[in-house]
Homo-oligomer: A and B are copies of this chain.
Amino acid sequence: MALHGKNIVGGELSALGKTTFRAWAPGQGAAVEPPFTEALPEEVERAFEAAARAFSAYRQLEPGAVAAFLERIAAEIEAAGDELLQRASLETALPVDRLTGERARTTNQLKLFAALAREGSWVDARIDRAIPDRKPLPKPDVRRTLVPIGPVVVFGASNFPLAFSVAGGDTASALAAGCPVVVKANRAHPGTSELVGEAVRRAIAASGVPPGVFSLIQGDRREIGMGLVKHPVTRAVGFTGSLAGGRALFDAASRRPDPIPVYAEMGSVNPVFLLPGALGERAEAIAEGLKGSVTLGNGQFCTKPGVVAAAAGPGLDPFLAKLSALVAAQPCGTLLHKGIFQSYEKGVGDLAAVAGARRVAVSTAAADRGKTQVQAALFETDLATFLKEPRLREEVFGPSTLVVRCGSPADLEKVARAMEGHLTATIHGTPQDLKDHAGLVALLETKVGRLVFNGFPTGVEVCPSMTHGGPWPATTDAHFTSVGTAAIYRWARPVSYQNFPDEALPAELRNRNERRLWRLVDGKLTQDDLA
């Protein structure tokens, strides 16, 4: 299938504008065909009109129909086959193997949210029955469920062209909740976005859901995305990207006449704490695991460990020696696009320029800068320098990390205390280490969304108990996660019904519990019908 380069506006292809742009193939160091037509304001307007219209019908669809729609999207993405993988690889320089895995993750996410919608208990139905003779006032019958918030805007992320992009976790969870989605395609992978967008369009046609539930807006300029955030129909925004980008969207959304939430996952330094017992027992194994985590996907993961606080002890020097050797041997990697390349080059340059920090290892291979290739890098500093220099605590997106030599357990806590909010923190320790550093664990609980023990933070399991979120600046709202089934709660809000006749209630709140949902009835969880 040839790429058409058009926007998808409420089920229709549309390319009214004259401004076009091409994707950049980082592995070739060249722009590639075809041209993509940037959406005009009138096309954006039509997308939102279609979304608003679709919302009325879509939010009242049977859960089974929503689930079937999501499953059909998954099937259509699988059917897009090698063409999708090849185009994604061309636009991102990510290897086809990695993208094959990411595609499985993407379709699994869609199926997981389909199952969540079909089972249905996620709506957190609650029923408090009337007590007409309660004194001093009668108690009314009150029942509540969650309803979708309305049309939402999702920004495709550059580093997961499938799993966090057009039909990624944000879109899957929003559609599962009953919200139409207007996607802003990431400008770095417009062709991949189109192929996935077309898969969604085929699923819409096959499922009979209103075409307005999905639009795909192409564009190379920031203003396009800002326009989506400011549009009056938009009820919320999902975003994965940089702190600067997330902050700009958050500010625009907060300054609307009617502010709306922006759920921005803005990355993180993901500190790792190496406790003395663990370092003494398995310094080399930790170095190997850490190097793998730092360089996975060329370090372009939100959960890449960027700071490693290592306790003094006999394991520290062997650990550093091993990690240095591994980093030196690491081949150069091609980054996703020129923006990330430039900011990585600046980031490692800034680290090297800090007095008291030094670069202890770098890939020995030469990097082809014309193809946005970079060398992996390892830095080292001492605690005093780390605490004094804020730039050492900032994210460098790409394959680099910084080891902070710490003395006592108290030093590790000082590192933790100096950090802002993060997606994750990781601790390597023996059971005895954990007991000796209970204060560190307690401190990290107040700073992050996920604590990893004797593992590495990259690789985010998609499951009900996952939290991919955390205090600012990891995200704009630590109450929510963008990975796992709980991600659906970003797109829903509670509505209560007081003294409604049974037949006028939403199905999940009626006396007869037809779908055997878990419901909180008079304070007790039950799957029973009401008497």
Contact flags A264-291 to B (C-beta < 8 A → 1, else 0): 0000000000000000000000000000
Q: Which of A101, A251, A420, A452 has the largest count of B CB atoms less than 10 A from its CB?
A: A452
Asked whether any CB of chain B lies closer than 8 Å to the CB of A504, the reply is yes
Task: For chain A, give the interface size range.
Answer: 35 or more
Asked whether any CB of chain B lies closer than 8 Å to the CB of A161, the reply is no
Asked if B497 contacts A466 (CB within 8 A), the reply is no
Chain A, 445-499, CB within 8 A of any chain B CB: 445-446, 448-455, 459, 461, 463-467, 469, 471-473, 476-479, 481, 486, 489, 492-499
Q: Which residue of B lies closest to A136 (CB)?
A: B101
A150 CA / B434 CA spacing, docked (Å): 24
Chain A, 130-175, CB within 8 A of any chain B CB: 136-137, 139-140, 142-144, 147, 149-150
Asked if B453 contacts A467 (CB within 8 A), the reply is no
| Smallest CB separation, A417 vs chain B (Å) | 11
Asked whether any CB of chain B lies closer than 8 Å to the CB of A60, the reply is yes
Asked if B254 contacts A442 (CB within 8 A), the reply is no
Asked whether any CB of chain B lies closer than 8 Å to the CB of A520, the reply is yes
Starting from the known contacts A431-B501, A449-B496, 16 additional A-B residue pairs (CB-CB under 8 Å) come to A137-B459, A139-B461, A143-B465, A144-B466, A250-B259, A254-B254, A258-B420, A258-B471, A261-B479, A431-B504, A449-B495, A453-B500, A464-B523, A465-B496, A479-B494, A525-B525
Q: Could you write out 27 A-B pairs with CB less than 8 Å apart?
A: A56-B442, A126-B465, A128-B466, A140-B455, A142-B463, A142-B465, A254-B255, A258-B420, A258-B472, A259-B472, A261-B477, A261-B479, A431-B503, A434-B504, A449-B493, A450-B495, A450-B497, A451-B498, A452-B499, A453-B501, A455-B499, A464-B523, A467-B494, A467-B496, A479-B494, A486-B494, A525-B525
Interface residues in chain A, defined as those with a beta carbon under 8 Å from any beta carbon in chain B: 55-56, 60, 101, 121, 126-128, 136-137, 139-140, 142-144, 147, 149-150, 250-251, 254-255, 258-261, 420-421, 431, 434, 441-442, 445-446, 448-455, 459, 461, 463-467, 469, 471-473, 476-479, 481, 486, 489, 492-501, 503-504, 518, 520, 523, 525
